[in-house]
Amino acid sequence: MERKSTADFGMSFLLACMLVFVLAASAATDNITPSRSIIDGETLVSSDETFELGFFSPGSSIKRYIGIWYKVSPETVVWVANREAPLLDRFGVLNVTKEGTINLLHKKTEMVWSSSRIRTAKNPVMQLLDSGNLVVKDGNESDSANFLWQSFDYPCDTLLPMMKLGKNFITGMNWSLTSWKSPDDPAPGRFTALIDPEGFPQLVVRNGSEIFYRGGSWNGERFTGTPDLKQIELSNLFKFEFELNRNEVYYKGEPYPALISRLAVNESGFLERFVRTKQSESWLEIYFAPRDECDYYAVCGAYSSCNTNNSPRLCTCMDGFEPMFPTEWDRLKWSGGCTRMTTLACRNSVFTKYNGLKFPDTSNSSFYTNMSLKECQAECSKNCSCMAYANSDIRNGGSGCLLWFGDLIDMRIYIDGGQDLYVRMANSTLGHLVVRKNSSEIKEVAIVVIPIILIGLVWGGIVFYLRRKKLAKRVGGKDEMELPVFDLDIIVKATDNFLDNNKLGQGGFGPVYKGRLPEGQEIAVKRLSKSSGQGSEEFKNEVVLIAKLQHRNLVRLLGCSVQGDEKMLIYEYMPNKSLDYFIFDQAKGKLLDWRRRMHIIDGIARGLLYLHQDSRLRIIHRDLKASNVLLDNDMCPKISDFGLARTIWGDQTEANTNKVVGTYGYMPPEYAVDGLFSIKSDVFSFGVLVLEIISGKKNRGFFHPDHSHNLVGHAWKLWMELKPLQFVDCNLEDCFVVSEVLRCIHVGLLCVQKRPEDRPNMSSVVLMLGSENPLPEPKLPGFFTERNLPESESYSSTHHELASENGVTISVLEAR
């Protein structure tokens, strides 16, 4: 009887506690006074329900922190109070004292974290504002200048609208962003984003004490190293503000009212700007930096500019300069920079103009706000230590004066959005500089130079003509590529004059026919269509590349045929056609059991690994997809179609292009949007292909009644819901090894992660597929939805496009 009473009492106590918890939760408010505390499980919610404050555990950690997050996106934490002092249990208490100090206590007695205050309050109130700012104020005080304390003065890794990034010169307050150590640990990491006030203030990201990335100085519209922000600003989605005066320097950005926005520095040091609406399901990344190899600080050293269009030789010395260490320069190691060819004499120097530049590091510079460009030149000329000058403000035709002292470091060339820089040069330096010489000297130089130039032009023309003539005779010939050249008549007979019954399919650049050579060997003939996009360069590219490749998982090129307008490639014949012929057909898909699918996945991975790492040329395929994977008699996969492939050199892993070509659904975001391709582009395509092989469905055009995601997004959704086996092709029924399927889905999701640096390389992929070791958790995939938001969530056609996860316009894409 006593035992029963005790049980009843315990149940009643439990119910009472639950009731108290429910009542507390239902009475959510945006503020507390000293008479009330917040315990683990309770939250503050801003009045417009954008932000929420409470206890949380990051990632897979069990440690507890006080943080602020978006109510529509609880996993997106924007501020943490006790970054370096986590709680190890759920007995934390948050309150505000009668003096106006916020305290985080453990079991109401042990101090864990405490805020500062500038003065004592009469009626202190802690409030979470609609801006995401946690403040302590006196009574109903609403003027931010009179707040006793505010979280906006102590940023973590995220800059919210209305927050400042910069420094107050009077109080010494430094508003900077510091990355988390890891997704599971919000303690300060290695990277800090700040406005460096030394010289002319500029945006930088530091890795410890070293500069990792430099966004540059403010030019009146944007930072000089962020020309692509111009498009965001012109869309009227954002208003950027930069203030520099005697009291402070700061930057902040405010979005269009219907948007939620944040700028963050992640654990890898990348600055990322995200936007979303309250109604949308996910964040859209509209900007990140560094964007390419030229964005990394001082990659080319002093007096050299970086240009991604010159890949792999990204760096070029300025005119009148030469590499400091020529041997290292030849090895594509440019950090030593360049040195002057002619000693600079202060009183015998001139200035030369460089267009389209990201300004050099301004930490050793001075500036004048009210000075014309002519006055700026005069100011630089009279100071022998001044190495360059420019307008500090590009608005209204240019104004202000910026002077550089010491070496010019961290410059790059932009096709659009760069600025003019005037660099001090020795008067005797040749090139496009302004050189003062008398007429007799000019005549002497002309007598010597002009004949040399004419002879060079004539000789160059002869060499060019002979090379073109030789090439026309033997594109793909033996002396260059050791590749057999087939006579056109033989190919015509082998294919029965390209009979329709012999047509195997239609590739992106023309039809493919089955044929039989006189000795009985079966062949596949890829006939370049005269109306296709592939010209001589693409054709030659495929011939040169594939002729040098030998691997069991790459299709073998037997030869080529070039005669008149006809250009053809002759491959070994694959009797089982291409992979898409099986996996996307409900009936034929049954012929691919799990063992065969696993074999195909492994073979494609090994073929890509050979291309990226083990072949004589390092090759990025750029168009890996199901129709470009052929199957032989034993269903062994062979990667084909190298018309879009590109070679990379040495330790290079990426490049860029002004012409984005490929296939929708297989291209990663950085390639489709910015033209950046790398070995990680192929990894993304491989990930899509793996998910297609497992599911038996196409990524592009995939439809599910319950959500708007494509196949990649569907796989991600099921993975996050712990239902990955629902992703498996119904043709497999239950005849598969669960652990292998789960591992392949896991690897596929790792390969399609949005950020290239998060994706594994192919050597890691091959190891992961063949082992049972634990794998890292995948992050959000790229391009995981294809349908737009409902019309009700759109506020204009342009804004609607940016608010959708796939709102990307690709004007130069050759979709296939």
Task: Give the CATH number of the domain where residue 499 resides.
Answer: 3.30.200.20
Structural tokens at position 57 = 């555990």
**Mode of pairing for the β-strands spanning 411-413 and 304-306:** parallel
Please say which residue of 291, 311, 327 terminates a domain: 291
Domain that holds residue 412: 295-426
How many domains does the chain contain in total? Answer: 5
Say yes or no: 619 and 736 in one domain.
yes
Size of the chain, expressed as the number of residues it contains: 816
To the nearest 10°, report the CA torsion of 394, 397, 401, 404: 60
Say yes or no: 593 and 663 in one domain.
yes
pTM for this prediction? 0.55
Say if 777 falls within a structural domain: yes
User: Could you tell me if 689 and 721 are in contact, meaning their C-beta atoms sit under 8 angstroms apart?
Assistant: no
Half-sphere exposure of 256 (CA within 13 A, CB side): 21
Catalytic residue among 30, 157, 196, 623: 623
Give CA separation, 733 vs 584, 691, 726, 743, 792, in Å.
16, 17, 11, 18, 41
The angle subtended at Cα 586 by Cα 583 and Cα 588, nearest 5°, is 60
Say yes or no: 705 and 745 in one domain.
yes
CATH code, 115: 2.90.10.10
**Phi and psi dihedrals of 175, rounded to 5?**
-95, 105
Average pLDDT of the chain?
A: 82
Say if 464 falls within a structural domain: no
In 364-515, which ranges are continuous DSSP H helix?
Answer: 373-381, 439-473, 478-481, 488-494
Say if 442 falls within a structural domain: no
Please say which residue of 550, 572, 594 terminates a domain: 572
Say if 287 falls within a structural domain: yes
Say if 652 falls within a structural domain: yes
* DSSP symbol at 122: S
pLDDT of residue 449: 54
Smallest Cα–Cα separation from 66: which of 39, 32, 46, 45? 39
**Measured between alpha carbons, how far is 122 from 113 in angstroms, rounded to an integer?**
23
Say yes or no: 657 and 782 in one domain.
yes
Say yes or no: 706 and 727 in one domain.
yes
CB atoms within 10 A of CB 365: 24
CATH code, 619: 1.10.510.10
**Measured between alpha carbons, how far is 415 from 714 in angstroms, rounded to an integer?**
38
User: Could you tell me if 783 and 806 are in contact, meaning their C-beta atoms sit under 8 angstroms apart?
Assistant: yes
Say if 446 falls within a structural domain: no
Say yes or no: 120 and 194 in one domain.
no
**In the chain, which stretches have pLDDT less than 70?**
1-27, 231-237, 428-483, 507-509, 530-538, 540-542, 544-545, 548, 616-617, 649-661, 785-816
Peptide bond into 290 cis (omega under 30): yes
Please say which residue of 260, 291, 322 terminates a domain: 291
Say yes or no: 636 and 730 in one domain.
yes
Q: What is the per-residue burial (b if ≥16 Cβ within 10 Å, else e) of 250-275? A: bbbbebbebbbbbbbbbeebbbbbbb
Say yes or no: 702 and 791 in one domain.
yes
Say yes or no: 250 and 321 in one domain.
no
Say yes or no: 124 and 210 in one domain.
no
Residue 623 designated active-site:
yes
Say yes or no: 61 and 95 in one domain.
yes
Say if 324 falls within a structural domain: yes
Give CA separation, 326 vs 9, 119, 266, 335, in Å.
85, 62, 36, 11
Beta-carbon contacts of 729 under 8 Å, excluding residues fewer than 6 positions away, are 583, 589, 694, 695, 696, 697
Say yes or no: 141 and 250 in one domain.
no
Say if 472 falls within a structural domain: no
Greatest Cα-to-Cα distance within the chain, rounded to the nearest angstrom: 123
Beta-carbon contacts of 387 under 8 Å, excluding residues fewer than 6 positions away, are 404, 405, 406, 407, 408, 423, 424
